[in-house]
Amino acid sequence: MTEAAGSDTRRIPVHGWIGLVMIAVFWYLNWGLSGIRTSYLFFPLWLGYILFIDSLVLYRSGTSILKRKTREFIGLFFLSAPCWWLFEIINKRTQNWEYLGGDRFGDIEYFLLSSLSFSTVIPAVFESAELVSTFKWTSKLAGMGPNIRMSKRLPHAFAATGIVMMALLLTWPRVFYPFVWLSVYFLVESINISTGRRNLVMHLAEGDWRPVIALSLGALLCGFFWELWNFYSYPKWIYHTPGTEFLHIFEMPLLGFLGYLPFAWELYAIRNLVLKKGVYLFN
């Protein structure tokens, strides 16, 4: 997707203005109110972000995830929550982040409110990735990068890499905790490759690095706003990342932002595993 010619004749769709108003209102409330509030305001704030970014994509390119297939757009929210719970389970071992104020809720309330918040992760990242892909400079990444050779051994190599990474991070979490942002990708992508599902390697085999770059920058954009809006939130998360706890941007150590790049690949791999058919990014 590229920036549409003649976009000056178009208007931002209505849902974009709705999203912008939601961002303004719920950002103000999230930072301005006292007591427990983020657990209830996180979802509408990020829903506003998702709607606004989708409208920008539609304005710039003439298409968007919401326009192409509304049902799948909604399905991303339902996929996102269990996907992030997977990383929460891994974090039980690595202890890289914790939620201040989470103990104020009962188990069922905590699960439901957390799941609602987690449901925005995948839609936000994919919308942001599509926004990145609307810029003309991304077209230069098609067919110009180094090729990654596709072979019969590749899925086995990916699976072995993922297993080793996961074993290392679970055995020595204080040292190998960064592998959480790569191990899941290699494990899931090995299945996608071996079963013929869409995967990033099929693009890289043609020297097309647009999906990798767009996903990475899209997640980084989301990461900035996640950390920004989290800073004065409550409940909020804080980090414990041995060896990198310096030069913080909001609560996140500067080096920690690198984790957002492969995190987007993991989300894309999981989506392709679960949703084999349908409208995909970067066709």
This prediction's pTM: 0.94
Predicted confidence (pLDDT) at residue 48 exceeds the cutoff of 80: yes
The answer to whether residue 1 sits within a structural domain is no
Buried b (16+ CB within 10 A) or exposed e, 192-214: bbeeebbbbbbbbeeebbbbbbb
Do the strands 236-239 and 97-100 form a parallel or antiparallel pair, or are they unpaired?
antiparallel
Predicted confidence (pLDDT) at residue 7 exceeds the cutoff of 50: no
Number of helices and strands in the chain (H, E): 12, 4
84-118 pLDDT, tens digit per residue, is 999 999 999 999 999 999 999 999 999 999 999 99
pLDDT of residue 82: 97
Predicted confidence (pLDDT) at residue 8 exceeds the cutoff of 60: no
The total of structural domains in the chain comes to 1
CB 38 within 8 A of CB 97: no
16-33 pLDDT, tens digit per residue, is 999 999 999 999 999 999
pLDDT of residue 73: 93
The answer to whether residue 283 sits within a structural domain is no
The answer to whether residue 91 sits within a structural domain is yes
Mean pLDDT of 248-266: 97
Write down the mean pLDDT value for the chain: 93
pLDDT of residue 223: 98
CB 33 within 8 A of CB 45: no
Give the H or E element holding residue 221: helix 210-231
pLDDT of residue 242: 96
User: Letter for the amino acid at 138?
Assistant: T
Residue 137 structure tokens: 């400079």
The answer to whether residue 2 sits within a structural domain is no
3-state secondary structure of 146: coil
The answer to whether residue 153 sits within a structural domain is yes
Buried b (16+ CB within 10 A) or exposed e, 146-166: eebeeeeebbeebbebbeebb
Residue-range definition of the domain harbouring residue 80: 7-274
The answer to whether residue 281 sits within a structural domain is no
pLDDT of residue 148: 80
Mean pLDDT of 197-223: 94
Mean pLDDT of 33-49: 97
The answer to whether residue 87 sits within a structural domain is yes
Residue 141 — pLDDT band, cuts 50, 70, 90? confident
Predicted confidence (pLDDT) at residue 134 exceeds the cutoff of 70: yes
